[in-house]
Structure 1
Amino acid sequence: MRIIFSIVFLLVVLAINISAVRFGSFNLQQYGPKKSANETLTDLVAKILNDFDVAVIQEITDAAIKAPYVLFDALNKISKSKPYTMTLSERVGRTSTKEQYIFFNRESTSGVKLIDYYLYNDVQDYFERPPFIGTFEVTKPGSSGVRYFTIMDVHLRPDSAYQELLDMRRVIHDFILKNPRYFTDTSTSLSQALAANVIGATSTNKPNLKTNHPILIMGDFNADCTYISLTRQGTLRSIDFADFTWVINNEVKTNTRQTCTYDRIFINGDKFVKAIVPRSNTTVDFPQRFGMTMEQALGISDHLPIKFDINF
C-alpha cells in the first residue's frame, strides 16, 4: 500500500512539474559583437535560456543589431521542434552606449502569447534605459484565473537605481492610462487603480494597487549592496512597493560571485503569486551546471539568471 501511495504521489509531483511554465530573467552583460561571434559562448547562453519557456533579457549591446539574431538562431537550433519567438526592443540609453531588451517566448510550452509591447515613452527622462513592456495572454487559462498579465523589463542605472525604482510607479500609471480595459472590467475601477498607484508614497499614503491584471517588474534592478542600501530596501518594501510581492529576496544572491541581490522580480497580483510553484523562485546556477570556473562563468555574464515556475 505504501509503495502504491508513493508511486501515486510521485506521479502527481511529476504532473505538476511538467505542467509548470518557467519564467526567467537574465542580464547578458554586454552581449554584443564579440560575444555573439564566440560560437561556444553563444551556444552556452542558448542552453541556459532553453530551460525557460519565457525569457526576459537585458543588456544586448550591438549597434549593428546582429547579436540578438545570432542568439535567436542558436536558441532555435536547440529547440527546433518547439521554436521561440523573439520580440526585440529599440536601442535605448542616454549615451552612445545603448542596449536592447528581448522577450523570448516558446508558445508551445509557455501557453502564453505576447499581444502588445512597447518602450515606455520617457519624455521626462526619468530612466537611463526606459522599461520594455509586454502584455501576454494566457491561451489556455487554468485554475489560477490568470488570463492576461504584463511584464515590465528593466535595467536600472546603478547609481540611480533607487530613484529609477521609485519612478516605476510612473510607468505603472502610464500603463493603466494606456490600458483602461484591464482595470474597468474588474472589481477595481480605472479611477481607483490610478489613485491606488501612489507616486511619491509616504508612510501615511502607501500604494495599494489591487487588480485582476497582474503586473510583473523583472530584470536587473541593481537593488542591493552599494546601489540600494538595506535601509532603502526596507522603505521600498514597506512603503513604495508595499502592494507588490518581492519574489526574489535578499537570501538569493543573483550576481555570479553570489554576493549581492541585484536582480529582482516584483509582482502585483494575488492570483498570479498564488499560482507560483513554491520554492521555484531562485537563481539558475549555470556555473555549477556546466562545471565552470569563476573566470569562465564571468565570461558568460556577471549575473545569474533568476526564475520562477507557475501553474496557470
Structure 2
Amino acid sequence: MRHFFLILIPYLGAFGVQGASEFRICSFNLQHFGESKAKKRDVMDVYAKILSRCDVSLLQEVRDSKQKAMPQLLDQLNKSDLNHEYKAVASERLGRSETYQEQYVFVYRRDRVTVTGQYQYPDNKPGNVDAFSREPFVVRFKAPETAIKEFVLIAQHTSPANVSTELDALYDVMQHVKRMWKTENVMLLGDFNADCSYLSKRSRDKLRLFRDNSLFWLLPEKTDTTVRASTSCAYDRIVVHGDVFSNAVVPFSAKPFDFQTAYQLTEEQALKVSDHYPIEVLLKNNASKVSLSLFLVSLLIFALRCIN
C-alpha cells in the first residue's frame, strides 16, 4: 500500500491536485483611514503588504474626505506588487453625522477581476426604512479563473449601537440584490460587530441571516478578529449564499490574517495599523474541477492496471 501511494505522487502533480492558484477575497476594517494614517510610512507599508495578498479586498472606515489618502495607498500598492495592477471602486460617503462619514472601497486586481456592476443601497431615500448608519455597498465581479466565474459582494459595516436591526435589514438587501441582478451567488462581508456585547446569542438566534439554511457563515463562532490581546470577538464576518457559492469555496480557508505575527510587530505597532485583523476566504480555481476529474479518471485506470 505504501508503494502504491508513492507511485501516485507524480500523478498528483501532473493533474494539478496541488498546483492551482486560488482566488482570495478579503475584508479589512482599516480603523479611521485618512490623511493622518497615509502620512505614516510604516503603516502604509503594512497596508500594502496585506492588500497585495488579495485578489479583491473590501476596505472599511475609509475617512478620506479630501480623496488623497486612498489614491496614495493604491499607488503604493501598485508600486510594491508589480505582478498585478490594482484598481478601486468606492461607495458614496456614508453616515448620519456630517462630522463622521465613511466609504466602502473595493480594491481589486484588474488582471484577474472585472467590475460588471455596482449599486449603492438607498436606505435613507423616501420610501425606505432608514435602518443603516452606513448603507450597504454592492459590487458585482466577474472572475473567469474562479470556479464560480461571477459573484456579488455586499459590503456592510454595522453600527455597534444597532447591530440586530442592521443585520436583519441586511437580509432584505440581499434578497433585493438577488432579484435585481437575477443571481444566487452572493457574499456578505465586513465588520458586522456580530459578537460579544454588541450581539447576544438570544438576539442572534432571532435574525434571518442566522436562521436561513441557505446562508453559510464561514468563520467559526469563536474566531477572534481583533488585534488586542485583551479582547476575543468575532466581529468581522463572511457569509455566502447558496450551495453553488459554498461549493466554490476552498474548505476551511476562511480565517483572520494575523499580520502582527506575520510581520513580527508588537501589539502597539499592530494597533497603529488597525484594531481589526483582516479576514479572508479562498475560492477554488476554475481549473481545479477539471484537474480533479482527470486525476480521478487516471487513478481509476492506474488501479485497473495494477489489478490486471
Instruction: Determine the structure 2 residue equivalent to 1:105.
Output: 108
Question: In the alignment, is residue 254 of structure 1 matched against residue 195 of structure 2?
Answer: no
Q: For 1:64 and 1:285, locate their aligned partners in 2 and report how far apart those are by CA, in whole Å.
A: 31
Q: Quote how far apart the aligned CAs of 1:104 are.
A: 1.0
Question: In the alignment, is residue 135 of structure 1 matched against residue 140 of structure 2?
Answer: yes
Q: For 1:239 and 1:68, locate their aligned partners in 2 and report how far apart those are by CA, in whole Å.
A: 34
- Select which of 179, 185, 192 maps to 1:214: 185
On the 8 A contact 1:154/1:217 being kept in 2, the answer is yes
Q: Which protein shows a greater Rg?
A: 2
On the 8 A contact 2:171/2:208 being kept in 1, the answer is no
Partner deviation per Cα, 1:19-53 (whole Å, 9 max, x = no partner):
x1011110000011110111221111110111111
Instruction: Determine the structure 1 residue equivalent to 2:52.
Output: 50
Alignment of 1:280-291 (within 5 A): 280-291=253-264
Q: For 2:145 and 2:47, locate their aligned partners in 1 and report how far apart those are by CA, in whole Å.
A: 29
Question: In the alignment, is residue 125 of structure 1 matched against residue 130 of structure 2?
Answer: yes
SS in 2 for 1:222: coil
Q: Quote how far apart the aligned CAs of 1:80 are.
A: 2.2
Give the count of matched residue pairs: 274
SS in 1 for 2:78: helix
On the 8 A contact 2:95/2:133 being kept in 1, the answer is yes
- Select which of 274, 278, 288 maps to 2:251: 278
Amino acid at match of 2:120: L
- Select which of 206, 216, 221 maps to 1:235: 206
Q: Give the direction of change, closer, same or farther, for the CA distance of 1:241–1:59 in structure 2 (3 Å limit).
A: farther
Q: Give the direction of change, closer, same or farther, for the CA distance of 1:246–1:239 in structure 2 (3 Å limit).
A: closer
- Select which of 270, 282, 289 maps to 1:309: 282
Q: For 2:80 and 2:254, locate their aligned partners in 1 and report how far apart those are by CA, in whole Å.
A: 25
- TM-score computed with the length of structure 1 as normaliser: 0.82
On the 8 A contact 1:236/1:242 being kept in 2, the answer is no
Q: Quote how far apart the aligned CAs of 1:170 are.
A: 2.4
Q: Quote how far apart the aligned CAs of 1:136 are.
A: 1.2
Q: For 2:64 and 2:209, locate their aligned partners in 1 and report how far apart those are by CA, in whole Å.
A: 39
Partner deviation per Cα, 1:153-173 (whole Å, 9 max, x = no partner):
110001101110000122123
On the 8 A contact 1:166/1:240 being kept in 2, the answer is no
On the 8 A contact 1:249/1:264 being kept in 2, the answer is no
On the 8 A contact 2:253/2:281 being kept in 1, the answer is yes
SS in 2 for 1:126: coil
On the 8 A contact 1:215/1:268 being kept in 2, the answer is yes
On the 8 A contact 1:256/1:298 being kept in 2, the answer is yes
Q: For 2:84 and 2:118, locate their aligned partners in 1 and report how far apart those are by CA, in whole Å.
A: 23
Q: For 1:310 and 1:166, locate their aligned partners in 2 and report how far apart those are by CA, in whole Å.
A: 27
On the 8 A contact 2:144/2:150 being kept in 1, the answer is no
On the 8 A contact 2:209/2:215 being kept in 1, the answer is no
Instruction: Determine the structure 2 residue equivalent to 1:293.
Output: 266
Q: Quote how far apart the aligned CAs of 1:59 are.
A: 0.7
Partner deviation per Cα, 1:196-251 (whole Å, 9 max, x = no partner):
xxxxxxxxxxxxxxxxx211110000000000012222333786443210011212
- List gaps (5 residues or longer) in structure 1: 184-212
Question: Identity of aligned pairs, percent?
Answer: 34
Q: Give the direction of change, closer, same or farther, for the CA distance of 1:81–1:147 in structure 2 (3 Å limit).
A: closer
- Select which of 15, 19, 28 maps to 1:15: 19
Q: For 1:294 and 1:87, locate their aligned partners in 2 and report how far apart those are by CA, in whole Å.
A: 31
Q: For 2:227 and 2:164, locate their aligned partners in 1 and report how far apart those are by CA, in whole Å.
A: 22
